[in-house]
Amino acid sequence: MKSRRRATSYDVAAHAGVSQSAVSRCFKEGASISHKTREKVMEAARELNYYPNAIARGLITQRSNLVAVIISNLTNLYYPEVLAELTQRLSAQGVRVLLFSLAAESDVDEVLDQVWQYRVDGAIVAARLDPSQLAGFADRGVPVVLYNRVGEGVPVSSVCCDSIAGEYALTDGLLAHEHRRFGIIAGPADSYVGEERVNAAVRRLDMNGAEHFVVRGRFDYASGEEGLKALMRESGDRLDAVICANDLMAVGAIDCARGHFGLRVPEDLSIVGFDGVGPATWLSYQVTTVRQPVRRMTEAAVSMLLERIEKPDISPEQRLFAGELLPGASARLG
Amino acid sequence: MKSRRRATSYDVAAHAGVSQSAVSRCFKEGASISHKTREKVMEAARELNYYPNAIARGLITQRSNLVAVIISNLTNLYYPEVLAELTQRLSAQGVRVLLFSLAAESDVDEVLDQVWQYRVDGAIVAARLDPSQLAGFADRGVPVVLYNRVGEGVPVSSVCCDSIAGEYALTDGLLAHEHRRFGIIAGPADSYVGEERVNAAVRRLDMNGAEHFVVRGRFDYASGEEGLKALMRESGDRLDAVICANDLMAVGAIDCARGHFGLRVPEDLSIVGFDGVGPATWLSYQVTTVRQPVRRMTEAAVSMLLERIEKPDISPEQRLFAGELLPGASARLG
DNA sequence: CTGTTAGCGCGTTCAA
DNA sequence: TTGAACGCGCTAACAG
């Protein structure tokens, strides 16, 4: 079995005593082939260890069966779960995943160059794309589904968790419980959901005349700690509640509140997050948060994408999923 | 720019008034082409929005520039970091990542079928492969580098963190501090590192005549909690220290010790983990653990793989990296 | 149902 | 340095 060159459909054909196209048909669904020939071919294929060359197939069918998944920061603990779901769902549909993870948002253009070269059939993108980048997909007829972001000004399909409703639920709960002085730890400025969540919270607080301070974080644990320290400074150590743009920062803030400021959470300070990632539910934190329905969202993203690969002319659609309020134990809700 | 079909090198050639092969040469490093022609071609390429078709190129060069990354359980918080590092390093070398994540180890064979079809140039595998599966790679001349596992009986390149030395360091530290009754929370039976770590710990304990109880977990938070409960039951609630096969279970065990059993960690019970993942360093846990040098390991994996893609005849090599003992605050070490 | 034929888009000889 | 011609491995039309 030490074949220097890998077996081709011609080798199999010769071995089975049929034509090359007969071999080809055996590996295609619903092709007309007699039971007898198929047996012979399959037998020969097994002996020669033959696997159809998907590269060559893609060249002729104009379908690579490849989908690009572009994720900006995999280290955000929210994404591993999303990625695992996406790849498994896509695999189940016979589609391969070409993964691109960005160290910085500015790398998007380089990544897109690669995406074009590989003639992917579609893309699922959890990274910020500007209108011209989105136009690149449209020009080439490559369907895209954005994950937790929307095309700003450009019509493009997307799957999102309802940040606004979720944040309203959290904020309203806090307001109902007599919280009056709020701290907010936002996400990085280039995060779509980050801005949306924080804007929603601020709007609600303003409507209710509640005081609030805002600092910016990076969606990670350390910036939750730093954020709380900055907020305490700005507010003169008098805060009733802290709203974090994601769970990881909430966890950092909780640890900092307890460890650094000696506060009890939630008795002295309420802290809420967003996402519903694993660590949020851990006993030490039990973050009051909004859980994104990741499974339904990934399923939607995959099915929307595959549908548009089949029928490129379907118009874009935005799907918005409600998150689930998890009461947790890190905040006193109304 | 609404080209129904995407531009090919022929289109560019016609537009620039040169031959197709001239276009081809412009996109290949170190091909002999005059400055003047190159200018014309690049100009035309830009106008037509031309990107070389990597699929077609792969067909002729017998190089797909694709590397398969196969990871069994992405939800293990240790892997996202590894994956991000791997994809970024591979991307930097001009290699694309085809990602396969397994829901169950039994899916390996289906995944490999796909891997063969895509003619990947190589693979990095963090999943259990049996000898016949490894032979599949060898037969096809596809280089593999195993990540944190070794080929059992089969010679194959691998990059590992030294589980044994790491576990010895932890265990010795605990023994030096008068711990005598040990609990061990192992990983799933099909995990190579899990078994290695636990075996090392058990060996060390046996050498020192220390009593120990072993239960099995699944590498996740919940099984850390469950594991501790089971250990307490078996040991009659008298345990000095718990050795967990990874950090996530250590975190679960710590929470359970405090929340469920009302124990102080480490005063009443020492708990150690392995990996050095993010949550292990969080203030609430500060797990005493061994940190894997992920960056050096991923760098090694990538460079070993690329080297073997270039020169398929280099013999396999195993590289073993020492982990770093992080004292933490979850255990009393000697 | 089967075999023959013609490309898919590109890299790579080989002469010129 | 350039262009013509060939073929990578396969699918898809077509004729038999």
pLDDT tens-place string over residues A206-224: 999 999 999 999 999 999 9
Residue B98's SS3 state is: strand
pLDDT of residue B325: 97
Residue A307 and residue A217: Cα distance in Å, rounded? 37
Residue A134 and residue A125: Cα distance in Å, rounded? 10
| Numbered ranges of CATH 3.40.50.2300 in chain B | 63-161+295-322, 163-292
Contact between B77 and B279 (Cβ < 8 Å)? yes
Contact between chains at A53 and B117 (C-beta distance less than 8 A): yes
Rounded to 5 degrees, φ, ψ at A288 are -75, 120
Q: How far is CA A151 from CA A144, A157, B289, in A?
A: 10, 8, 44
pLDDT of residue B2: 42
Residue B200 and residue A48: Cα distance in Å, rounded? 43
Residue A290 and residue A167: Cα distance in Å, rounded? 8
pLDDT of residue B297: 98
E strands, chain B, in order: 66-71, 96-101, 122-126, 144-147, 157-161, 181-186, 211-216, 241-244, 270-272, 289-291, 318-321, 324-326
Residue B190 and residue B102: Cα distance in Å, rounded? 14
DSSP codes, B58-74: HHHHT---EEEEEES-T
Upper half-sphere CA count for residue A162 (Cβ side, 13 Å): 13
Closest CB to B284: pick one of A3, A255, A278: A255
Contact between chains at B84 and A69 (C-beta distance less than 8 A): no
The arithmetic mean of pLDDT across residues A1-6, rounded, is 57
Residue A126 and residue A147: Cα distance in Å, rounded? 5
Contact between A193 and A163 (Cβ < 8 Å)? yes
In SS3 terms, chain A reads as: CCCCCCCCHHHHHHHHCCCHHHHHHHCCCCCCCCHHHHHHHHHHHHHHCCCCCHHHHHHHHCCCCEEEEEECCCCCCCHHHHHHHHHHHHHHCCCEEEEEECCCHHHHHHHHHHHHHCCCCEEEEECCCCHHHHHHHHHHCCCEEEECCCCCCCCCEEEEECHHHHHHHHHHHHHHCCCCEEEEEECCCCCHHHHHHHHHHHHHHHHCCCEEEEEECCCCHHHHHHHHHHHHHHHCCCCCEEEECCHHHHHHHHHHHHHCCCCCCCCCCEEECCECCHHHHCCCCCCEEEECCHHHHHHHHHHHHHHHHHCCCCCCCEEEECCEEECCCCCCCC
Count, residues in chain B? 334
The arithmetic mean of pLDDT across residues A94-101, rounded, is 95
pLDDT of residue A149: 94
End-to-end CA distance of chain B: 70
Is residue A162 over pLDDT 70? Answer: yes
CATH of domain B9-52: 1.10.260.40
* Min Cα separation A69/chain B (Å): 10
Assess B55–A contact: CB distance below 8 Å, yes or no. Answer: yes
Is residue A4 over pLDDT 60? Answer: no
Residue A303 and residue A311: Cα distance in Å, rounded? 12
Residue A218 and residue A245: Cα distance in Å, rounded? 10
* Min Cα separation B17/chain A (Å): 23
pLDDT tens-place string over residues A250-268: 999 999 999 999 999 999 9
Contact between B23 and A87 (Cβ < 8 Å)? no
Is residue A68 over pLDDT 90? Answer: yes
Contact between A307 and A314 (Cβ < 8 Å)? yes
Contact between chains at B88 and A101 (C-beta distance less than 8 A): yes
Tokens 């977990």 correspond to what residue? B217
Closest CB to A282: pick one of B80, B139, B221: B221
Tokens of A212: 């609030």
A52 touches strand D (CB under 7 A): yes
pLDDT of residue A1: 41
Considering all nucleic acid strands, name the nucleotide whose C1' atom is nearest to the C-alpha of residue B25: C11
For B120-159, b where at least 16 C-beta lie within 10 A, e where not — what string? bbbbbbbbbbeeebbebbbebbbbbbbbbbbbeebebbbb
**Protein residues in reach of strand C (CB < 7 A):** A 18-22, 25, 32-34, 36-37, 56, 59-60, 62; B 5-6, 8-10, 20-21, 23-25, 27-28, 50, 52-53, 56-57, 59-61
How confident is residue A2, by pLDDT bands cut at 50, 70 and 90? Answer: very low
Rounded to 5 degrees, φ, ψ at A135 are -60, -35
Contact between chains at A91 and B77 (C-beta distance less than 8 A): no
Per-residue pLDDT tens digits of chain B, which is 334 residues long: 344 578 999 999 999 999 999 999 999 887 788 898 999 999 999 999 999 999 999 999 999 999 999 998 887 888 899 999 999 999 999 999 999 999 888 889 999 999 999 999 999 999 999 999 999 999 999 999 999 999 988 999 999 999 999 999 999 999 999 899 999 999 999 899 999 999 999 999 999 999 999 999 999 999 999 999 999 999 999 999 999 999 999 999 999 999 999 999 999 999 999 999 999 999 999 999 999 999 999 999 999 999 999 999 999 999 999 999 999 999 999 7
How confident is residue A29, by pLDDT bands cut at 50, 70 and 90? Answer: confident
Tokens 């060069």 correspond to what residue? B61
Residue A247 and residue A278: Cα distance in Å, rounded? 9
pLDDT of residue B4: 54
B37 touches strand D (CB under 7 A): yes
pTM of the shown model = 0.94
Residue B78 and residue A324: Cα distance in Å, rounded? 27
Assess A111–B contact: CB distance below 8 Å, yes or no. Answer: yes
Contact between A239 and A210 (Cβ < 8 Å)? no
For B176-210, b where at least 16 C-beta lie within 10 A, e where not — what string? eeebbebbbbbbbeebbbbbbbbebbbebbeeeeb
Assess B138–A contact: CB distance below 8 Å, yes or no. Answer: no
Q: Is A63-161+295-322 a CATH 3.40.50.2300 domain?
A: yes
Name which of B37, B53, B46 is nearest B5 in CA terms.
Answer: B53
SS3 content of chain B, % helix, strand, coil (to 5): 45, 15, 35
Contact between chains at B77 and A2 (C-beta distance less than 8 A): no
Distance of A284 CA from C10 C1′ (whole Å): 58
A8 touches strand D (CB under 7 A): yes
| Numbered ranges of CATH 1.10.260.40 in chain B | 9-52
pLDDT of residue B1: 39
Rounded to 5 degrees, φ, ψ at A72 are -75, -60
CATH of domain A163-292: 3.40.50.2300
pLDDT tens-place string over residues A294-326: 999 999 999 999 999 999 999 999 999 999 999
Least confident of A96-100, A234-238, B30-34, B235-239: B30-34
Count, residues in chain A? 334
Average pLDDT, chain A: 94
pLDDT of residue B259: 97
